[in-house]
Amino acid sequence: MAQVLEFKLPDLGEGLTEAEIVRWMVEVGDVVAVDQPVVEVETAKAMVEVPCPYGGVVTARFGEEGAELPVGAPLLTVAVGEAAEAAGAARPAGGQPARDPGAGDEGAGEAKGSGNVLVGYGTSEAPARRRRVRPQRTAAAAPAAPARMNGRVRTAEPTDGPVPVISPLVRRLARQNGLDLHELTGSGPDGLILRADVEYALRAAAAQGGRPAVPETATAPHPADRPQAPAPALAGGPRAEVRTPLKGVRGAVADKLSRSRREIPDATCWVDADATELMRARAAMNAAGGPKISLVALLARICTAALARFPELNSTVDTEAREVVRFGHVHLGFAAQTDRGLVVPVVRDAHARDAEGLTAEFARLTEAARAGRLTPGELTGGTFTLNNYGVFGVDGSTPIINHPEAAMLGVGRIVAKPWVHEGELAVRQVVQLSLTFDHRVCDGGTAGGFLRYVADCVEQPAVLLRTL
């Protein structure tokens, strides 16, 4: 006899307590296989696809797109067993929910599950071939024929239900321009709304002399689709108060920075360095052919060499045991600004990579960060952080330590400045380096020695040869 099993939002690790539903990947009545992704959620760390550990027929879903669910809350229920699967395959058209799987079923197979449901990392075995039964619309429920304009499809009236959007960038573009995605029918597969559809709708609205309007009869958009900021105030007029919830990535960053300031007695030291020779060395390396070497990769190589000399800064404080834990590896985090906010991807075993390998890994993680596809494992476990805020055109900063690490190196912009070089005034490429460190793990002498070694390597890259 078939049985109905409840699949709850699993613990995604690293202290995450909630997630927002971005996109449902199955509907009530669909047949799902073991470990088939059923929903895409966004946590404070990243967006991940959640696979279901049971194979069978989806009988219920909990939560609409844009809703936040705590860990342990029900996601969906699945009727498992051969009879339930047959019921799902034979379900009549019209999108009706599957019948009660326990009524009159005999000889059903045993419930099967993966037993491996921690998500964001997939499961241990290859998933079975996905089987999906899509509900069909009856003639009575069919929507009115959409109107076409220049090949773009738009519905005459907004539709109810989840918005078929995958890309967060599409949602953001619509949100910024006050466009209700419920008004659109996408040109992508299965009605998926693409960026081109949103851009066309905005151009059409502009041609008509106004912004896209939401009809009074339209269904209210989901929280993820609501505009988060009001339209700009008229020139000279009063400006409305704006409140932004501290949740998701922004909330996670706020919590972590607050905890760092609250728990870590930090101190900052800084020094100006002549980066002219480092820039020349990079230019020579890239002129020799082969993969290009990034500046951040060279700075990372310098950091790992400095940490080998001053390992006290590659550590953390165990407050409960009252011990300083020094790591034997360097998992180097680096700050990356994305549309979702500031994230810190981690380069595993950075000390074992050369400049070319570091360049490739930085590029891979940066691309994943901007696409919102970093896994929790790629955002945690760092032992030291490199923050290149010079890309924002600023010279200096006092970095806040990425708790529970013990130090962070900040790098400002490299800019031409007057500099005394070999006893004469010259124009050189100068950079400011800042080190914020946990005063519990070391004193100023160690921190100063680390920073001075980094500056020496920036000014004379040949210094690195002694560590190879």
Of residues 222, 351, 421, 439, which has the active-site annotation?
A: 439
- State the virtual CA torsion across 51, 56, 57, 58 in degrees, nearest 10: -30
First to last CA, the chain: 66
- Nearest C-alpha neighbor of 355 from the set 306, 302, 277, 414: 302
Query: Within a 13 Å sphere around the CA of 157, how many CA atoms are in the beta-carbon half?
Result: 9
Alpha-carbon distances of 100 from 104, 152, 304, rounded to whole Å: 9, 41, 61
Question: 37 has which bridge partners?
Answer: 51
Nearest to 340 by CA among 12, 16, 43: 43
Q: Is the dihedral of CA 116, 120, 123, 124 positive or negative?
A: negative
Please, are residues 182 and 241 in contact by the beta-carbon 8 Å criterion? no
Residue 439 annotated as catalytic: yes
Question: Tokens 């919590």, residue?
Answer: 255
The answer to whether 427 touches 418, Cβ cutoff 8 Å, is yes
Which residues are catalytically annotated?
Answer: 439
